[in-house]
Amino acid sequence: MSDAPAIPAKRRVGVLISGGGSNMAALIAAARDPAYPAEIVCVVSNVASAGGLAKAAAAGVPTAIVDHKAFPDRESFERAVVATLEGHDVEIVALAGFMRLLTPWFIERWHDRLINIHPALLPSYKGLHTHARALADGVKIGGCTVHFVRPEMDVGPIIVQAAVPVADGDTPETLAARVLVQEHRIYPLALARVASGAARVVADVEGRERVVTDHPASRDGCLVAPA
Ligand code: GRF
């Protein structure tokens, strides 16, 4: 018998994408670290031409296409996605630019094991075109959020957020590019905390949920914009 400390098993993660997959690539890169508590065991796209599929394949991660257009309804599409994920013994599902609304059936199937990244500081700016709407409102701080998924769109207990100052002259594209850099930073962080059990959902007496972690935020930091 070896005296070497046992390495805890990595949680098996499936990533759902519809597009370029830069967040997916960030998760795959982070999971290469032997100490990372999760491994990316499959990438599923509902879009056959999604650029992320080639990136995943190049990284040696199995890929699958489940084209929603090939199914008569949302439920049969989702059953096919679940079958693919189950075929890889997936325990946690990460949505990374996955552009289909999911039914409560799918979401509850992965309760507290389904996470999403959104390019805004939720609960502000749910939905699409977040950066254009934030700029139109003149906000000085934008950002991104990783959260557990609940049946309402872009709603669910927040795991990690990053704040990004808005610059004079920002366009939706320039702001999106700076926020994306932070997305690639917080998504691996959030997944690690979910996979390790450090991030847990708790509810107050009124049933309102939030996430507690074993990683308290620094208490003296703040972001002022413009500084
Ligand atoms: C990201 O901005 C993500 O927050 C949003 O869609 C974009 C996907 O980008 N949900 P990528 O496919 O991860 O590059």
Q: Which residues line ligand 1 (CB under 6 A)?
A: 17, 19-24, 52, 96-97, 117-119, 180, 183
CA of 225 to the centre of ligand 1 (A): 24
Nearest CA to ligand 1 atom 8: 97
Instruction: Report pLDDT for 220.
Output: 78
* Residues 46, 18 contacting (CB under 8 angstroms): yes
Instruction: Report pLDDT for 19.
Output: 98
Nearest CA to ligand 1 atom 12: 21
Mean pLDDT of 186-193: 98
Please state the atom number of ligand 1 nearest to the C-alpha of residue 26. 13
The residue from 68, 88, 118, 147 that is catalytic is 118
Instruction: Report pLDDT for 96.
Output: 98
Mean pLDDT of 16-41: 98
Nearest CA to ligand 1 atom 10: 97
- Alpha-carbon gap, residue 223 to 227, rounded angstroms: 8
CA of 88 to the centre of ligand 1 (A): 24
Q: What angle do CA 42, 77, 56 make, to 5 degrees?
A: 20
pLDDT band at 2; cut points 50, 70, 90: low
Residue 73: is its pLDDT beyond 60? yes
Rounded to 5 degrees, φ, ψ at 19 are -140, -135
Mean pLDDT of 40-54: 98
- Alpha-carbon gap, residue 141 to 220, rounded angstroms: 18
Residue 186: is its pLDDT beyond 80? yes
Token representation of residue 165: 């100052």
Please state the atom number of ligand 1 nearest to the C-alpha of residue 25. 13
Q: Percent of the chain beyond pLDDT 90?
A: 90
Evaluate the CA torsion angle 127, 132, 137, 143 in order and state its sign.
Answer: positive
Q: Which of 130, 95, 117, 118 is nearest to 187 (CA)?
A: 117
- Alpha-carbon gap, residue 146 to 45, rounded angstroms: 20
**Mind listing the pLDDT tens digit for each residue in 168-184?**
999 999 999 999 999 99
Instruction: Report pLDDT for 6.
Output: 72
Q: What is the DSSP letter of 220?
A: S
Instruction: Report pLDDT for 160.
Output: 97
Confidence (pTM): 0.95
Instruction: Report pLDDT for 1.
Output: 54
Mean pLDDT of 148-177: 97
Please state the atom number of ligand 1 nearest to the C-alpha of residue 96. 13
Q: Which of 101, 138, 135, 95 is nearest to 118 (CA)?
A: 95
- Alpha-carbon gap, residue 92 to 89, rounded angstroms: 9
Instruction: Report pLDDT for 215.
Output: 76
Residue 227: is its pLDDT beyond 90? no
Q: Which of 164, 218, 202, 210 is nearest to 186 (CA)?
A: 164
> Is 215 considered catalytic here?
no
Q: Which of 103, 100, 83 is nearest to 14 (CA)?
A: 83
Residue 72: is its pLDDT beyond 70? yes
Residue to mutate, 22, 24, 153, 174, ligand 1, most ligand atoms under 8 Å from C-beta: 22
Evaluate the CA torsion angle 100, 47, 21, 164 in order and state its sign.
Answer: negative
